[in-house]
Amino acid sequence: MSTHPQANPAFEPIPQFDLSAQYAAIGAEIRTAIERVLSSQQFVLGPEGAALEEEIDALCGVAHGVGVASGTDALILALRACGVQPGDEVLLPTSTFVATGSAVSALGAKPVFADVRPETYNLDPSELERRVTPRTRAIIAVHLYGLAADMDPIVAFAKSRKLPLIEDCAQAFGAVYKGRRTGSFGDAGCISFYPTKNLGAYGDAGMLVTNSSELAARLRALRNHGQTAKYLSSEPGWNSRLDEIQAAILRVKLSKSRE
Ligand SMILES: Cc1ncc(COP(=O)(O)O)c(C=O)c1O
CA distance 196 to 105: 25
CA distance 107 to 99: 13
CA distance 95 to 147: 13
Per-residue confidence (pLDDT) for residue 100, from 0 to 100: 98
CA of residue 48 to ligand 1 center, whole Å: 22
Per-residue confidence (pLDDT) for residue 10, from 0 to 100: 79
CA of residue 38 to ligand 1 center, whole Å: 28
Q: Tens digit of pLDDT per residue, the chain (259 long)?
A: 555 656 677 788 888 888 999 999 999 999 999 999 999 999 999 999 999 999 999 999 999 999 999 999 999 999 999 999 999 999 999 999 999 999 999 999 999 999 999 999 999 999 999 999 999 999 999 999 999 999 999 999 999 999 999 999 999 999 999 999 999 999 999 999 999 999 999 999 999 999 999 999 999 999 999 999 999 999 999 999 999 999 999 999 999 987 7
CATH class of the structural domain 21-257? alpha beta
CA distance 194 to 188: 19
Atom nearest to 75 CA in ligand 1: 4
CA of residue 170 to ligand 1 center, whole Å: 5
CA distance 204 to 189: 17
* Adjacent-strand bridge partners of 232: 229
Looking at beta carbons, which pairs linking 81-85 to residues 24 or more positions away fall under 8 Å? 81/188, 81/215, 81/218, 81/219, 81/222, 82/137, 82/138, 82/164, 82/166, 82/187, 82/188, 82/215, 83/137, 83/138, 83/164, 84/109, 84/137, 84/138, 85/109, 85/137
Q: Report the DSSP pairing between strands 136-142 and 165-168.
A: parallel
CA of residue 4 to ligand 1 center, whole Å: 32
Burial class (CB in 10 A: 0-12, 13-18, 19+), 103: buried
Burial class (CB in 10 A: 0-12, 13-18, 19+), 18: exposed
Give residue 79's Cα distance to chain centre: 12
Per-residue confidence (pLDDT) for residue 6, from 0 to 100: 63
Per-residue confidence (pLDDT) for residue 257, from 0 to 100: 85
CA of residue 226 to ligand 1 center, whole Å: 23
CA of residue 39 to ligand 1 center, whole Å: 31
Our mutation pick for probing the ligand 1 site, out of 75, 94, 97, counting the most ligand atoms within 8 A of Cβ, is 97
Domains of the chain, by residue range, sit at: 21-257
Per-residue confidence (pLDDT) for residue 13, from 0 to 100: 82
Residue closest via CA to ligand 1's atom 1 equals 97
CB of 201 closer than 6 A to ligand 1?
A: no
Our mutation pick for probing the ligand 1 site, out of 94, 113, 194, counting the most ligand atoms within 8 A of Cβ, is 194
